[in-house]
Amino acid sequence: MRRRERKRLARSLALLAACICLPIWIVKGCIIATQNGDSSNEEESSSGGVFSPGPTVEVNDGGEGFSLPLEEYLVGVVAAEMPASYHAEALKAQAVAARTYTCRKLQNGGCKHGGDICTDSGCCQAYTPPEELSETKRAAIEAAVYGTAGEVAVYGGEPIEAVFHSTAGGYTEDSENAFVTALPYLRSVKSDETDAPRYASAQTMTNSEFCARVQSAFGVRLSDPARETAVLSRYASGRVESLRLGGTTVTGKEFRSAFSLDSTNFSFEFGNGAVTISTKGFGHGVGLSQTGAQMMAEEGSDYREILSYYYTGISLEKYW
């Protein structure tokens, strides 16, 4: 009986020590990271460079997974999702979007594959271990993450579904046209990133190549692509809603996937036995455009203006 009590006491003391020491160690770690990467950030120096590292996140990376404070996790996410060479304000917008996305996951029970969030960009958010980054890149990203620490984009009192994409190519898209749900803060806005590398692209193939791909993807046999292919409807953003291939109607999304196009904003040109498919933008087009964020930052907007532009009607709240 006494031995058991002693054991219990020892366990309690160990737990108490962990509760006191761990937060000190984590906060200390963040201060060091801040000093390394954020010499130009006035906001942070004015607040003394001390901030909460946020809740612990269980990251599912397909293997055993790992857990770490949310702010530290975000450094790896921003590293994987946006070039570190982007403008500081664009990186901050990306950091807030990634933080918001993570908070929503935490609130909604985590990733369907286990853990709070996974490293599959097709499911949750990509992740590059910060130790794999050069010192310069890591410093730029840490400045963006720790310079916005705790800030979350909120609508109706909840973290928003902070989706983002590479390049809108003219206009972003209403959420219901790309996904299922109409969300009031995911509305189409103008985003003409004409200097972005994937603003526009085109691929040309012979008529027979085009017919073969249509047949393998949709089981439709075409003999004259120019006569048998037609865009039936477009959304206001310019993206294709549906098109006709012979006697079959397919969605713009299905066609994009079958032809590995950059976006669903595509058009056709026929001639000389060939088909040219031109696309505008890169990605699903909903929410924050990353190259749009870069463009706005270069034109003088800060991350708050960028986020408010791409996420209609949101406000930024400090969660920790």
Shortest reach from residue 112's CB to Zn ion, in Å:
6
Shortest reach from residue 124's CB to Zn ion, in Å:
3
CB 266 within 8 A of CB 279: yes
Residue placing its CB nearer to Zn ion in the complex, 117 or 144: 117
Which stretch of DSSP H or E encloses residue 66? strand 66-69
- Output the CA–CA distances (angstroms, integers) from residue 92 to 61, 298, 301, in the order listed: 24, 13, 12
Residue placing its CB nearer to Zn ion in the complex, 4 or 112: 112
Residue placing its CB nearer to Zn ion in the complex, 49 or 65: 65
CB 231 within 8 A of CB 243: yes
Q: Which two tokens stand for residue 161?
A: 């579904």
Residue placing its CB nearer to Zn ion in the complex, 92 or 105: 105
Shortest reach from residue 145's CB to Zn ion, in Å:
20
Any contact of residue 168 with Zn ion (CB under 5 A)? no
How many residues of this chain interact with Zn ion, rule: CB under 5 A?
4
Interaction with Zn ion in 72-131: which residues (CB under 5 A)?
A: 111, 118, 123-124
Which stretch of DSSP H or E encloses residue 305? helix 303-310
Shortest reach from residue 119's CB to Zn ion, in Å:
8
Give the whole-angstrom CA distance, residue 215 versus residue 27: 58
Q: How large is the C-alpha radius of gyration of the chain?
A: 24
CB 204 within 8 A of CB 276: yes
Interaction with Zn ion in 170-199: which residues (CB under 5 A)?
A: none
Residue placing its CB nearer to Zn ion in the complex, 123 or 182: 123
Shortest reach from residue 264's CB to Zn ion, in Å:
23
- Find residue 266's DSSP bridge partners: 279
Shortest reach from residue 267's CB to Zn ion, in Å:
34
- Find residue 248's DSSP bridge partners: 245
Interaction with Zn ion in 214-243: which residues (CB under 5 A)?
A: none
Interface residues with Zn ion (CB under 5 A) are: 111, 118, 123-124
